[in-house]
Amino acid sequence: IVRHGTGEERWFEGGQVNREAYESHHCSLETFRSLPMTSRYISGCAMLIRRDTANRVGRFDERYFMYCEDADYCLRAARAGFAMEIVEDAVITHKVSQSTGTEPDEATPFRAYHILRSHLLFWRNLLGCSEFHRGYCRSQLGRWVLSPLYRTSEGELSEWGAAVVDAFWYYLSGCRHQGSRRSAPRWFRAWMTAKPWMITEGMGWRWPA
């Protein structure tokens, strides 16, 4: 997949799900082909799926709305025994980040909310309860509330931080609605402003004093 407007700049050659690092990211075609099927994913920007695969695996999980839905589908297909491959001669161009209306990798509240909420769903589904909390939550959640984007210069919750809080609330409240962002209640926002580490540590099954 070539990034639109850049000539030949490759945006995607393959995808890797790294369970040890709790990351999913783009990788080279060489790396992709060296991975087991259960660690590969293909970008949903250009994916051909056989009918028998769809019949057995089902549809994309619409709870994701944006981010991780392609990796989730590929891992479900791999667990069902299907293979996946990149066709090197097939090339498309992709207008990166047009769905978000932002520049690629721009830090916006919209992106923060959907990335975090999708990651929470994805890794919980992949890892199961214990490893999700003891592994993923312990290693990944702190960076969201420790980010300089989380607060304003006055120490209040920023718009970006509020989006992060809403993503936490989406997961913790058991809501599984699609797409649209719903605000966390005031008491939860106040808690996440004053003592966010209590939530992140609690989700990692470490109980702060």
* Domain ranges across the chain: 2-84, 109-203
Which pLDDT tens digit goes with each residue over 33-73?
Answer: 999 999 999 999 899 999 999 999 999 998 888 899 999 99
Which pLDDT tens digit goes with each residue over 148-198?
Answer: 999 999 999 999 999 999 999 999 998 767 667 889 999 999 999 999 999
Closest to 74 in 3D by CA, of 133, 130, 141, 125 = 125
Which tokens in the block code for residue 179?
Answer: 């797409």
Backbone phi, psi, residue 106, to 5°: -70, 135
User: What average pLDDT does range 19-30 have in this prediction?
Assistant: 95
User: What average pLDDT does range 18-23 have in this prediction?
Assistant: 95
Residue 99 has pLDDT above 80, yes or no: no
- Residue 195 is predicted with a pLDDT of 95
Three-state helix/strand/coil letters over 101-152: CCCCCCCCHHHHHHHHHHHHHHHHHHHCHHHHHHHHHHHHCHHHHHCCCCEC
Which pLDDT tens digit goes with each residue over 103-137?
Answer: 657 789 999 999 999 999 999 999 999 999 999 99
Closest to 46 in 3D by CA, of 14, 17, 68 = 14
- Residue 104 is predicted with a pLDDT of 59
**Which residue has tokens 């008491």?**
187
